Amino acid sequence: MMTDTYVILGTGIAGFSAARSIRREDTDCEIIMIGEEKESTYLRPLLSKTDFSRFRKNKIYTAKDSWYEENRITVLKGRTVSGIDRENHRVILDGSTVLSYRKCIYALGATCFVPPIPGKDKRGVLTLRTVQDFHELRRKTMTAKKAVFIGGGIIGMEMAWELHEMGIHCTILESAPRVMARQLDEESSDILRISIEKQGIEIHTAVQIRELTGDENVTGVILSDGRRFSADLVVLSTGVRPVVAPAKEAGLSCDRGVMADDYLVTSDPDILAAGDCVQCSIPNPGLWKYAKVSGDTAGYNAVHSESMRSFRVGNFPVILTAMGMGMFASGTTQEEPGITTEVSHSTPFGDENYMFRVNHNRCGSQNYQKRFYRDGKLCGIVLMGDISEMRTVPVNL
């Protein structure tokens, strides 16, 4: 009797979770993971949360090599998916290698979105998505004096703090009217911005980039209003774009991502999708938890096609551990019709001493909490300073 073969496209956390789930449900099958990077699955969020000086490559992997051996999971690294032959249930790698599958998990993730800014290809203009990106950025910081971060999200802020601690002057440029506009209401965002600026990091919001200056090497940024910022390092933190090209070429239904139903099954019943590249009824925030749970669900459903479970995931908390402080946001954190709020803080907003200088899991002298209610029920929370209460926040908030 021949064993079933499951081919997983992608070695990120979605692909890893799918492989682990498949092995848990089917102890006899063959599992093959395929990834473009020359690394096994690693904890991608740690790339922006780890000090350059403390970074140890072997500490970021999700599992040791022995785990893959013990679970009989083959990982093909540094390989490119060049085609999916749906009719014959085959995946083509690098234009030549052919792998047959019973079920395929499409989990190719996403790549950094690079806006069409004139000068974006100059040396010194970097992104942060992979281990290779991390090492390139670390090398550049050895000589950089001024850095500009285009994008005021979590990754941009965490990396700006790391470089600031190294003595590099950092400026954050954000196109939205405030920092972390999707995760924080106006008041919370303002408080976060004030605390960051008091640490010595510049923030400019509601800006548009005209061009990046310099000959071969970047020397600065010019805004649409003419303002200029000198920089020998520019980090683009402008979001990601799902990898959908192989899916489109194979004729799978795609929009921004690969379309899938509530069971993460694509328009082909033998191909499921998971991770940053999937688009289903639950909006994809591009966060670690979403990728992990969707991978686990897709793996389970690939094995149990007659008794699949629907994809369900709780809240998507956002945690910032930088600027000498901690910030946690979860649930509905915007003031909108039907929402009431309750605020508590240790220092009045606007006070010249308003600044958080605490570790992310310890109480400090400056703390801020804002709770959001709908019909008298807690539906969202923002914590700054002491964020230890995040451990008690309901997972379905």
* pTM of the shown model: 0.90
**pLDDT bracket for residue 355 (50, 70, 90):** very low
Q: How far apart are CA 281 and CA 300, in angstroms?
A: 19
Pick from 101, 105, 86, 104: which is nearest to 2 by CA?
101
Whether the predicted pLDDT of 359 surpasses 60? no
Parallel/antiparallel/unpaired status of strands 90-93 and 325-331: unpaired
Whether the predicted pLDDT of 365 surpasses 70? no
Whether the predicted pLDDT of 205 surpasses 70? yes
276-325: pLDDT as tens digits: 999 999 999 999 999 999 999 999 999 999 999 999 987 888 888 877 77
Q: How far apart are CA 302 and CA 233, in angstroms?
A: 45
Supply 171's token pair.
């400026």
Q: Which residue has the higher pLDDT, 308 or 388?
A: 308
Q: Using alpha carbons, list the distances in angstroms from residue 240 to 127, 189, 247, 276, 284.
A: 11, 22, 17, 9, 12
236 CA to centre of own chain: 14
Whether the predicted pLDDT of 340 surpasses 90? yes
Whether the predicted pLDDT of 224 surpasses 90? yes
What is the side-by-side strand order in the sheet with 233-236? Answer: 125-126, 233-236, 146-150, 169-173, 202-204
168-182: pLDDT as tens digits: 999 999 999 999 998
**pLDDT bracket for residue 366 (50, 70, 90):** low
Whether the predicted pLDDT of 213 surpasses 70? yes
Whether the predicted pLDDT of 71 surpasses 80? yes
- The mean per-residue pLDDT over the stretch 194-199 comes to 89
- The mean per-residue pLDDT over the stretch 375-392 comes to 88
Q: Under the phi-then-psi rule, with left for phi > 0, alpha for psi from -120 to 50, and beta for the rest, what region is 135? A: alpha
What is the side-by-side strand order in the sheet with 81-85? Answer: 81-85, 90-93, 97-100
Whether the predicted pLDDT of 3 surpasses 50? yes
17-38: pLDDT as tens digits: 999 999 999 999 999 999 999 9
- The mean per-residue pLDDT over the stretch 41-58 comes to 83
- pLDDT of the residue at 2: 62
Q: How far apart are CA 104 and CA 345, in angstroms?
A: 51
Longest CA pairwise span in the chain (Å): 74
Whether the predicted pLDDT of 274 surpasses 70? yes
Supply 42's token pair.
């690693």
Q: How far apart are CA 395 and CA 383, in angstroms?
A: 16
Supply 196's token pair.
């960051």
Task: Point out the least confidently predicted range of 35-49, 104-118, 363-377.
Answer: 363-377
- pLDDT of the residue at 307: 96
- Three-state secondary-structure class, residue 273: strand
Q: How far apart are CA 369 and CA 44, in angstroms?
A: 29
Q: How far apart are CA 87 and CA 134, in angstroms?
A: 40
Mean pLDDT (the chain, rounded): 91
* Beta-bridge partner residues of 279: 259
93-152: pLDDT as tens digits: 998 899 999 999 999 999 999 999 999 999 999 999 999 999 999 999 999 999 999 998
Pick from 33, 100, 115: which is nearest to 295 by CA?
33
**pLDDT bracket for residue 52 (50, 70, 90):** confident
% of the chain beyond a pLDDT of 70: 94
Pick from 21, 34, 29: which is nearest to 107 by CA?
34
- pLDDT of the residue at 207: 97
Supply 46's token pair.
């740690």
- pLDDT of the residue at 81: 97
Range of 104-108, 163-167, 344-348 with top mean pLDDT = 104-108
Whether the predicted pLDDT of 219 surpasses 90? yes
Q: Which residue has the tokens 């922006």?
A: 48
